[in-house]
Structure 1
Amino acid sequence: MGEQDPSDRLRGDFPKEMKENGMASFSQFSSSVRAMVRIRQKYQAIKKRRLEIAAVAAQSLTSPRSTSPKVFTFDNLHDPINSNPSSPRKRKKKRKLRVLYPSSSLRAVPTKERSRAKNCLYLLCIIVFLQIYNAIENLDDHVLKYDLDGLEKTLKREVFGQQEVAESLLSHLHDYLSTYVHNKPLVLSLHGPTGVGKSHVGRLLAQHFRSVVGDDLVMQYFVLHHCPTDDDIPQCTKSLDSHVSEMVTQAEEEEKIPVFIFDEVEHMPRELLDTLQDLIHPKNNNEYLNAIYILISNLGREDITKFVLHNSSIAVSGRLSLNQELNPWLRSYLQRYHMLFLEAELLPFMLLEKSHVMDCFIDEMSREGFYPDRSHVERLAEELSYYTVGERAFSHTGCRQVVAKVNLL
């Protein structure tokens, strides 16, 4: 247990100290080597950058000098490689949208939630479409029920020289008969000189609508026949009111539109005109709205004749419709005569030319069984009197004397 010999202590500790000194020297050497490698890499990077800057400067010196001012930016200094247009640009890859599923579950697309509001919207659109379609079909069926195509053929075949009036008449009837519910009745007022076809058109309308809606819903009222004297006026007004009311009530039950044709309105007394106005323009109720009233008269015939004769050149050239020019004046005249014509659709009849009178002769002779020889027809037409305006000849009495002339054959 004594003290250890110094010589032994020196022999045992020397190798250990030598080992520790060797490890320290190796670590110092490795750290210095790493420092030298970093310095070399940094030097090479600085050298490379200087070479690139020198190359860019040399290229700028060799290029032609520009007189425009230069703007200095740091783009080329920070990223000279990307500034080269020849270097390809990397495209960004589109990110694929994927649905990740757990490994323990089935791979199925999530079900979309159904919107009840969208289904209701689709159903509403279908219902509106069906209603519009049914309404259009009902309009067509309602018009077809009155056979206006047949009426058009009849007017073209039997009415001469009044094409514009016939087209306007059919247009008003078609628009009114397209629906059953109306806010006012249709009032058509036919005006013109004697013999131009007003009463003839009234008879054709009565015949046509009797075949369509029945005899009970069509009334032809001739003032000189139904109310010949002034003493009969109170009874006439009462009977007219009751008759129209009965027809309107019956038409409402049958869902049809009645037709009332009043001829010789210029001979109608004031009391009858007032009664007719109350029927056409009801103030306190909505009755009598689904009805057609046709008024036939020769009111303003002298002025209509003068207007046609003075503007015959316009009618020939076709620059203007005489009806469009005549209607404003005729309406103001008729409103001064009676307020019955306030909301009436005016259809003025023009004077008939000689060619139209010849057509009347041919039609009437065919009805009576005579052969309509052209020369014979011209000779009969020459017996009538005419207004001469330039090369045109307008008959004084239209086709009124045609029937009497044919009966004398």
Structure 2
Amino acid sequence: MELLLLLLLPGLVPAFDPITLTVGAVSVPLLTALISYSGLPCYFRECCSEEGGVNSTALQLDFDHNVFGQHLAKQVILKGLTGFMKNKNPKKPLTLSFHGWTGTGKNYVSQIVARHIYKGGMDSKFVHQFVATLHFPHAHQINNYKDQLQEWIRGNVTACERSIFIFDEVDKMHPDLIDAIKPFLDYYEQLDGVSYRKAIFIFLSNTGGEVISQLALDFWKARKEREDLQLHDVEQKLSLAIFNKKDSGFWHSSLIDKNLIDFFVPFLPLEFRHVKMCVRAELRQRNSKADEEIITKVAKEMPYYPKEERVYSVKGCKVIPTILDFYL
């Protein structure tokens, strides 16, 4: 590193003794080669991840250690994301739509995806998050929002083809605003000289949670293993429910009608055992001892449904940090 600084900052040369300079001179060809290597500037600043894939092993481990009760989401995202990132010439952007009740892990999984593409994760300048109630709060300004959103997407993809766009609270977005994104998700090679094919769009919504929960409950009542529930058991019913629900954000949306969403990803309701896993993970992040008595107490504090069976957590794992603060 000292030799590299010597080469990059010639004004520092007088500060080094002749011996250091002699040793440095011997290494000049190596250092020149290092500097000319295209990846080196990205050591000092964040670069757009235009090429290269995702480490599927690292992503799998991250999911296994931090995401619980979501075998479908983990399978779909792992295969879909790694396959897309390996493809040097995709035909369209990767478009994922996450659905399920609050606290099931939709936001958390989108953060994991972001950090496995960019080290800065959600803080990366190439990752862009929109929250419906914050960024698009007024229905009467929908036309302004559409223009601003299109310009924002166009500008950021022009700067970095591998831009990530995350839309939270899609169920609170105006359907016209969702459809304004449609051209960027389609099978166009370019739009006004810009290619959007390497971008990633992720939608997060509570819509469809009732469909997913009912399917999971039916499986449970039939004494079937939760992990036997497959994507094809859920996806068609989920997409139809979203398309036909007025307050879904996707009501009669061209994104669904034109099959531009690659995967509808269901996030299943969490059982008591999954809530306990969430508590353990939270304790691990705090470097606190995994006290089984506290873990059980915190998990029991959560409300569960249906009222008689008490199978699934109403709030998922969302309020666990707050409850855990009380016990710790």
2:178 matched residue in structure 1: 273
CA separation of 1:353/1:239 partners in 2, compared to 1, >3 Å: closer, same or farther? same
Distance 2:218 2:97 in 1: 23
CA separation of 1:405/1:308 partners in 2, compared to 1, >3 Å: closer, same or farther? same
Counterpart secondary structure, 2:110: helix
| Farther off after superposition, 224-233 or 165-174 | 224-233
1:343 matched residue in structure 2: 260
- Is the 1:386–1:396 contact (alpha carbons within 8 Å) kept by the matching residues of 2? yes
1:352 Cα offset (Å): 0.7
- Is the 2:186–2:260 contact (alpha carbons within 8 Å) kept by the matching residues of 1? no
Equivalent pairs, count: 264
Superposition pairs for residues 11-90 of structure 1, below 5 Å? none
- Of residues 118, 134, 158, the one that matches 1:225 is 134
Superposition pairs for residues 98-117 of structure 1, below 5 Å? none
The one-character-per-residue Cα deviations of 1:44-93 (angstroms, maximum 9, x if unpaired) are xxxxxxxxxxxxxxxxxxxxxxxxxxxxxxxxxxxxxxxxxxxxxxxxxx
1:160 matched residue in structure 2: 68
One-letter amino acid of the structure 2 residue matched with residue 165 of structure 1 = A
One-letter amino acid of the structure 1 residue matched with residue 111 of structure 2 = R
One-letter amino acid of the structure 2 residue matched with residue 407 of structure 1 = D
1:290 Cα offset (Å): 2.1
The one-character-per-residue Cα deviations of 1:308-354 (angstroms, maximum 9, x if unpaired) are 11222557347942432111111222333223233311111111110
1:202 matched residue in structure 2: 110
- Of residues 165, 176, 189, the one that matches 1:260 is 165
1:281 Cα offset (Å): 2.3
1:332 and 2:240 are equivalent in the alignment: yes
1:402 Cα offset (Å): 0.8
RMSD value, Cα: 2.8
1:358 and 2:276 are equivalent in the alignment: yes
Counterpart secondary structure, 2:151: helix
Q: RCO (CA 8 Å, sep 6+): is it higher in 1 or 2?
A: 2
- Unmatched tracts of structure 1, length 5 or more: 1-141
1:283 Cα offset (Å): 6.3
Distance 2:113 2:55 in 1: 12
Distance 1:269 1:365 in 2: 39
2:296 matched residue in structure 1: 378
CA separation of 1:232/1:245 partners in 2, compared to 1, >3 Å: closer, same or farther? same
- Is the 1:191–1:296 contact (alpha carbons within 8 Å) kept by the matching residues of 2? yes
Q: Which has the larger radius of gyration?
A: 1
- Is the 2:272–2:312 contact (alpha carbons within 8 Å) kept by the matching residues of 1? yes
Distance 1:317 1:145 in 2: 33
Distance 1:391 1:226 in 2: 39
CA separation of 1:398/1:318 partners in 2, compared to 1, >3 Å: closer, same or farther? closer
- Unmatched tracts of structure 2, length 5 or more: 1-49, 245-250
- Is the 2:133–2:172 contact (alpha carbons within 8 Å) kept by the matching residues of 1? yes
- Is the 1:262–1:295 contact (alpha carbons within 8 Å) kept by the matching residues of 2? yes
Counterpart secondary structure, 1:188: strand
One-letter amino acid of the structure 1 residue matched with residue 318 of structure 2 = R
The one-character-per-residue Cα deviations of 1:193-235 (angstroms, maximum 9, x if unpaired) are 1211111111222233231899232211111222222344333
Distance 1:312 1:202 in 2: 28
One-letter amino acid of the structure 2 residue matched with residue 233 of structure 1 = I
- Is the 1:209–1:259 contact (alpha carbons within 8 Å) kept by the matching residues of 2? no
Counterpart secondary structure, 2:167: strand
CA separation of 1:315/1:182 partners in 2, compared to 1, >3 Å: closer, same or farther? farther
One-letter amino acid of the structure 2 residue matched with residue 226 of structure 1 = H
One-letter amino acid of the structure 1 residue matched with residue 269 of structure 2 = L
Superposition pairs for residues 210-249 of structure 1, below 5 Å? 210-211=118-119, 215-249=124-158
One-letter amino acid of the structure 2 residue matched with residue 377 of structure 1 = I
Distance 1:321 1:146 in 2: 27
TM-score (norm 1): 0.58
Q: Give the percent of matched residue pairs that are identical in Structure 1 and Structure 2.
A: 26
- Is the 1:146–1:212 contact (alpha carbons within 8 Å) kept by the matching residues of 2? no
One-letter amino acid of the structure 2 residue matched with residue 246 of structure 1 = G
One-letter amino acid of the structure 2 residue matched with residue 340 of structure 1 = L
CA separation of 1:322/1:313 partners in 2, compared to 1, >3 Å: closer, same or farther? farther
- Is the 2:100–2:267 contact (alpha carbons within 8 Å) kept by the matching residues of 1? yes
CA separation of 1:307/1:146 partners in 2, compared to 1, >3 Å: closer, same or farther? closer
1:291 and 2:199 are equivalent in the alignment: yes
Distance 1:225 1:373 in 2: 39
Distance 2:266 2:84 in 1: 20
Superposition pairs for residues 392-403 of structure 1, below 5 Å? 393-403=311-321
CA separation of 1:212/1:369 partners in 2, compared to 1, >3 Å: closer, same or farther? closer
CA separation of 1:222/1:258 partners in 2, compared to 1, >3 Å: closer, same or farther? same
Distance 2:68 2:160 in 1: 33
CA separation of 1:387/1:322 partners in 2, compared to 1, >3 Å: closer, same or farther? farther
CA separation of 1:393/1:373 partners in 2, compared to 1, >3 Å: closer, same or farther? same
